[in-house]
Amino acid sequence: MIKIVLLGAGNVATHLYKGFKNASNIEVVQWYNRSKKAIEAYKNDVNITDNISDLVDADVYLIAVNDDAIEALTNSLPFEKRLVVHTSGSASLYDIDMKHYRGVFYPLQTFSKGVDLDFTTVPICIETLRKKDFKILEILGQSLGCTTYKVNPKQRPALHLAAVFVNNFTNQIYRIAHEITEKHGAEFDILKPLITETARKVQEVSPYMAQTGPAKRNDKKTIKRHLKLLDNPHQEDIYKLMTESIKKTHGR
């Protein structure tokens, strides 16, 4: 049984709490948040607190707070030489106060509020300084049903950056497609199967191999027609830059 104290009450913390509750060999012994109100709904299920000096003993102190708050929070913990890990993709392991055994437990997935998460679709990127801490976090991840990956301080920020591309930037591309369809009175819904298939394809072949379309073919006529259709200069900039990018990749 791995005993956990969870710190933070955001989206990630809440999803992890629910995951841990369903895992047979994990016990959340306490849930801390600076404001008790955010976790009050769970007070009958778990020991909740807003007092940092009340923290109980645990195998792992799991910190799911804003990146900027990690350093101060870990510094304020009233103990040392225990395993304290954050869940950020971006913050350094060294943001955790050096009095602790330090680690990172980064779930590389997008979390939607109110939607139950299928943890089997959540890869966990683990970074630790000590081998035995890695083992604990690995078991923690596997108990949730996640696939775990050992990453180093160079790989994790790169994965976080790449995640911004495939998640935020892709989603913004969808958004612009939505704007285009709306503007011309067409249904965005018609694009949904294509969105699904585009994501499915790269599960099997590389994005390089999966590419098709006017930019790859350097089909100047279609590109010109598309640019004419876009009367929004910002959308035009994106069309041009992405088209250039595809041409560059495919040697056009």
Q: Binders of a copy of itself among 7-66, rule CB under 8 A?
A: none
Q: Are 105 and 4 in contact (CB under 8 A)?
A: no
- Interatomic CA distance for residues 110 and 240, integer angstroms: 28
Site for a copy of itself in 171-190 (CB under 8 A): 171-178, 180-181, 183-188, 190
Q: How far is the CB of 104 from a copy of itself (least distance, A)?
A: 14
- Interatomic CA distance for residues 173 and 182, integer angstroms: 14
Tokens of 86: 């954050």
Q: Can you tell me which of 22, 25, 76, 112 binds a copy of itself, judged by CB under 8 A?
A: 112
- Interatomic CA distance for residues 61 and 7, integer angstroms: 7
Q: Can you tell me which of 200, 231, 236, 252 binds a copy of itself, judged by CB under 8 A?
A: 200
Comparison of 33 and 109: residue with beta carbon closer to a copy of itself: 109
By CB under 8 A, tell whether 230 contacts a copy of itself: yes
- Interatomic CA distance for residues 156 and 149, integer angstroms: 10
Radius of gyration of the chain (CA): 22
x/- string (CB under 8 A) for a copy of itself, residues 232-251?
--x--xxx-xx-xxx-xx--
Count of chain residues binding a copy of itself (CB under 8 A): 89
By CB under 8 A, tell whether 155 contacts a copy of itself: yes
| Sign, Cα dihedral of 59, 110, 150, 157 | negative
> Which residues touch 145 (CB under 8 Å, ≥6 apart)?
19, 23, 119, 120
Q: Can you tell me which of 221, 231, 233, 251 binds a copy of itself, judged by CB under 8 A?
A: 221
Q: Can you tell me which of 24, 35, 51, 203 binds a copy of itself, judged by CB under 8 A?
A: 203
By CB under 8 A, tell whether 167 contacts a copy of itself: yes
Q: Can you tell me which of 109, 126, 128, 133 binds a copy of itself, judged by CB under 8 A?
A: 109
User: In the sheet where 26-32 sits, what is the strand order?
Assistant: 48-49, 26-32, 2-7, 60-63, 83-86, 101-107, 123-128, 147-150
Q: Can you tell me which of 36, 50, 226, 236 binds a copy of itself, judged by CB under 8 A?
A: 226
